[in-house]
Amino acid sequence: MILIIAVLCLFPGLALAFQGRGGFKPAEVVRVLLLFTLSLAVASPFLTNRGMGHGDALNYSNSVADIMTQLHAGVLPVAVGQSEYAFNGPVHPLRTACYFDYATGLLGLLLGSRLTFWGLQNLLLAASLTGAAYSAYFCLRKLGTVGPWIALALAAAYLLAPGLLAAAHSFDLYMTVTTAPYLPVAMLGLIRVFHDRTWANVSLFAIGLAVCWLAHPPVALWLSAGSVVVLATGLIVHPPRWRDFAVIPAGLLLLALLCGYGFVSSLTIDPNFTSRGYERALPVVASTVATMTRQAWPGSLRPVSRETMDLGDFQLGYTLWLLLGAAVVAAARLRRNAAAWSLLGMIFLYIVVTVPVPWLHHTLWLYLPLQFVTMTNMWPMQRMYLLLAAAVVFLGAVVQPGFYPRSRRRQWITGVIVFAALAWSGCQAWPFLRHNRALQYSAERTAATHRLENVDVGISSYAFLGFPSWFSNGPMDPEYGLRLLNRADLSVLVSNDPAGRKQPAAATGRLRIVRTEANLSYLEPQLTIEPGRRYRLRFHFLTPAIHALLYLRGPTTWREQTLPSYVGPKGFGMEQGNSPEIGLHTSSTRPEQVTLTLNNLDNAHWDWSDFADFTLEEVDRGALPLQLIRLVPELECRFDAPQDCWLETPRMYLKGYAAWVDGHPAQVERSQESEIMVAVPAGKHTLELKYIPPPLLRDSFWAAVCGWIAVVGFFVTLPIRRSSRRGRESPSTSRDAGPPAPGR
């Protein structure tokens, strides 16, 4: 994986040491290697094939597994989840931040099976962190206002910003992390457009902003809002010329081409909640945002916490606060540097949104456009501090001529201050790295995560689509989501639910606590799971409802269920109406001993030892009335309907699905569970259900693909074309050519 990172970042950086006039530059090699070492250290927790992180990290890894499964099955574009890792048809982040899935999908196709699903996800994050450092360094160099060593220091400050490290290592905000390499590109283009609205500058800004929209719309939204401040100031300071009226619309068209798929994709999602309903809740949301920001603000002015799990760990950091203060002083000295003052306006916008000023902050969030509130959610600090880090770093570069020390003594003092500030940032980075390393899975757990018997699609996979009543916070069998419903009242006619049907009992008994260590209570007896068989484990709980996690562990089994229940009223749990059953099976070729353990989440005193009576029933999948044949490239099942009825599937409803019964088109509707149901006739039939992207969605996808191929091709061939151009220059037209010979 380190070799891949080196190819992506180190080799292009070293290539610059051989470019330009003057031949080979050893100092550039030193700077590139220093930056590579630092970025590799920051990204080091992700340089592994093992899983890591909290629940969101697992959800994202399922999304990676799903897109890889679909791509290998020939599905393109991948517009909804379909495989066992996303059997419910999720659209997040596949449609809301598609860069994450398609970037890992591309890496997977290029690398083959060299990396696991976790490895592909970790590689993208490691490349994003390393790319953020290199992107900042090269963009600062291209800005032309700072020397190479100052650019190196500013790039290091950007990489070590707590707002970026908290997103990557503590809170699993992976989509935010993927924007980090492209914010410097957008900032460079923005500053250049401020001074000169040429096509090269406008297109550079459009490219950087477009990637951010595809990677994480909340970050891109606030980047766009801050850019409006800078661009509006630029139009006042440098009034538009006639050519600008052609260049600016062309830049907007390029932006629409490159990121239009993200907008079209989001607009074709039919969410369960409406804007009108969100507007009614806006006062509550604004109050919650103000409360969360007020609670997090004191922590953002202190060093990061030991566990790095406080919202206050999203902060600018003392180094960047120091840089911002120095930049304000330098801007005051320069006075006429309009670009610096416009960047200060951008920074002021982000600070106002993040700092809990009494009355003002609540009022601001109450009257912000609805899109800003819904996309930012209740924690603006998660988005703002990364944007603040990028803006402050580039502000420091813009005003650098205003505070560059002239005397040798002041240069040394400045160098010592910069070194001390970066050393402090490095010390503050260590708790984030330590925290992420502590979250790394064992090899056994990593291998078990994506085994089909352990796949947990998670609540996040139901975002924007709602969730059914049978949802459980744990592995679910998609075949148990198939049901035949009465046409008239949607009552259940036939289902795969084994409740009420006599099943062969493989084992029965009583689960008792045999020992307790810390918060873990171990239960006996163990359960034996035979390979190639399916089971239903039914509990009859003997205790009051408890707040705990029920772990099921075996050589290949790694599952956890939340108690007393979680979200779905008919999902697995201990409360009234919950189902007391879970499915079990193993993909191992050997019988497996499964141990059950309770994690006491409240550290409460349990004065009982008998937990539940259990029955382990063997299920004959071949005898199920609704047979699930496959999920990819389309859902296929066989059934015997007693009458004309609806067939309800485990896929969440979304416009664009089409169904065929025995090859004939069938009606598709939304069920009461917000799932897809298909009109089917009586008798034995085969159903196929497939998502067909709307024409606008499909066309915008391929337009974006063509656009990005052209952009990447342009930048890849740029050094070659520049070298060819220099080679074609004749001595008489070269800048280094001497005066013309006499007589000519």
The distance between the two most distant Cα atoms of the chain, rounded to a whole number of Å, is: 110
**Rounded CA separation 483/500 (Å):** 15
Phi and psi, residue 598, nearest 5°: -105, 130
Q: Which pLDDT belongs to residue 275?
A: 47
pLDDT, one tens digit per residue, over 470-527 is 898 889 999 989 999 999 999 999 998 766 566 778 899 999 999 999 889 999 999 9
Domain ranges of the chain: 2-438, 477-491+626-691, 497-623
Check pLDDT > 80 for residue 734. Answer: no
**Rounded CA separation 514/503 (Å):** 29
Token pair 């459009």 is found at 206
**Quick count: other Cβ atoms within 10 Å of Cβ 377?**
14
**Rounded CA separation 477/127 (Å):** 35
Q: Terminal CA-to-CA distance of the chain, rounded, Å?
A: 60
Q: Which pLDDT belongs to residue 736?
A: 46
**Rounded CA separation 744/742 (Å):** 6
Q: Which pLDDT belongs to residue 741?
A: 41
Over range 72-80, report the average pLDDT.
94
Check pLDDT > 70 for residue 546. Answer: yes
DSSP-assigned beta bridge partners for residue 512: 524, 610
> Encoding tokens for residue 314?
């999203």
Check pLDDT > 80 for residue 681. Answer: yes
**Rounded CA separation 292/298 (Å):** 11
DSSP-assigned beta bridge partners for residue 558: 553
**Quick count: other Cβ atoms within 10 Å of Cβ 663?**
7
**Rounded CA separation 661/686 (Å):** 6
Q: How does DSSP assign 283-295, residue by residue?
A: HHHHHHHHHHHHH
State the DSSP code for 18. Answer: G
> Encoding tokens for residue 118?
């976790």
Tell how far CA 372 is from the center of its chain: 19
Taking each helix axis from N to C end, the angle separating 148-159 and 26-43, rounded to the nearest 10 degrees, works out to: 0
Going by pLDDT thresholds of 50, 70 and 90, the confidence category of residue 557 is very high
Distances (CA, A) of 517 to 273, 523, 626: 44, 12, 44
Going by pLDDT thresholds of 50, 70 and 90, the confidence category of residue 572 is very high
pLDDT, one tens digit per residue, over 100-149 is 999 999 999 988 878 999 999 999 999 999 999 999 999 999 998 888 99
Least confident among 87-101, 163-177, 497-511 = 497-511
pLDDT, one tens digit per residue, over 322-360 is 999 999 988 888 777 899 999 999 999 999 999 888 778
Q: Which pLDDT belongs to residue 743?
A: 38
The three-state secondary structure class of 252 is helix
The three-state secondary structure class of 607 is coil
State the DSSP code for 579. Answer: B
**Rounded CA separation 371/365 (Å):** 11
- Check: CB of residue 147 under 8 Å from CB of residue 26: no
State the DSSP code for 8. Answer: I
**Quick count: other Cβ atoms within 10 Å of Cβ 172?**
22
Going by pLDDT thresholds of 50, 70 and 90, the confidence category of residue 87 is very high
**Quick count: other Cβ atoms within 10 Å of Cβ 158?**
26
Q: Which pLDDT belongs to residue 269?
A: 81
DSSP-assigned beta bridge partners for residue 538: 581, 615
Going by pLDDT thresholds of 50, 70 and 90, the confidence category of residue 5 is low
The kind and range of the H/E element at 583 are strand 581-584
Token pair 């019964």 is found at 661
Residue closest to 206 by CA, chosen among 234, 239, 247 = 247
The three-state secondary structure class of 88 is coil
Over range 276-304, report the average pLDDT.
79
Least confident among 165-174, 210-219, 456-465, 681-690 = 456-465
Over range 432-445, report the average pLDDT.
93
**Rounded CA separation 128/211 (Å):** 13
**CATH of range 497-623; options 1.10.260, 2.60.40, 2.60.120, 2.160.20:** 2.60.120
Over range 456-464, report the average pLDDT.
89
With a CB cutoff of 8 Å and minimum separation 6, the contacts of 23 are: none
Q: Which pLDDT belongs to residue 369?
A: 83
> Encoding tokens for residue 479?
């075949």
- Check: CB of residue 491 under 8 Å from CB of residue 648: no
**Rounded CA separation 646/650 (Å):** 13
Going by pLDDT thresholds of 50, 70 and 90, the confidence category of residue 191 is very high
Q: Which pLDDT belongs to residue 113?
A: 78
Q: Which pLDDT belongs to residue 266?
A: 84
**Rounded CA separation 668/293 (Å):** 44
Going by pLDDT thresholds of 50, 70 and 90, the confidence category of residue 276 is very low
pTM over 0.75: yes
Over range 701-711, report the average pLDDT.
95
pLDDT, one tens digit per residue, over 372-388 is 888 888 788 999 999 99
**Rounded CA separation 372/364 (Å):** 11
Edge to edge, what strands does the sheet with 492-495 contain? Answer: 492-495, 483-486, 645-652, 675-680, 668-670
> Encoding tokens for residue 716?
């890849």
- Check: CB of residue 429 under 8 Å from CB of residue 42: yes
